[in-house]
Amino acid sequence: MVEALAAEEGIRIRSRECASRVGRGSVGGISLLLALPQTYMNASGEAVSALCHKYGVEPADLCVVVDEIDLPLGALRLRRSGSGGTQKGLRSVVAHLGTTEFPRLRVGIRGERYSRERDLADYVLEPVAKAERTAYAEAVERAVEALRIWLTQGIDAAMRRTNEQPSSPDPKDPD
């Protein structure tokens, strides 16, 4: 998601600092720093915390984007704060920042091939199944749009847009 946003906005993520690859740029006139931690996922909080400390970024002013096996492929959940849940990278960020008060965008990756009997690391690291590539690509597009809205209109507008559920069809409507 971060790399897709960077590509669309012409931001090069090539500097290395605080155990991350970083790029600076702007979206809708808002200056930002995009970061891809290069630690193990379970230790990504080290990189996030170091960058926040170096640049004086308050937790409420960052958005952590994570893949989420607990959500179906393509589902998005944007929250202002909350626990790390079962996502180990998010739990690491919570532990290193010492707070749960930061926005996070969870992107569902649980596709048809997922099974609790499989090794989670193998599932997460393998390429997206051919049959699921369209759904994944659409999720990336929606996640990038959610990040743009968060940056330009704020977290509340982004949550309203991102977390909206499609309405149930009207049983009286034949279409």
Give the model confidence (pLDDT) of 43-76 as tens digits. Answer: 999 999 999 999 999 999 999 999 998 899 999 9
Q: What are phi and psi of 68, to 5 degrees?
A: -135, 110
Whether 167 maps to a domain, the answer reads no
Whether 121 maps to a domain, the answer reads yes
Whether 168 maps to a domain, the answer reads no
Residue 173 binned pLDDT confidence (cut-offs 50, 70, 90): very low
Gap between the Cα atoms of 47 and 33, Å rounded = 13
Report the predicted TM-score, pTM, of the whole model to 2 decimal places: 0.87
Please choose, from the candidates 115, 104, 118, 108, the residue with its C-alpha nearest in 3D space to the C-alpha of residue 147. Answer: 104
Give the model confidence (pLDDT) of 132-163 as tens digits. Answer: 999 999 999 999 999 999 999 999 999 999 99
Whether 169 maps to a domain, the answer reads no
User: Is residue 174's pLDDT more than 50?
Assistant: no
Whether 170 maps to a domain, the answer reads no
The CATH number that applies at residue 30 is 3.40.50.1470
Give the model confidence (pLDDT) of 9-38 as tens digits. Answer: 999 999 999 999 999 999 999 999 999 999
Whether 175 maps to a domain, the answer reads no
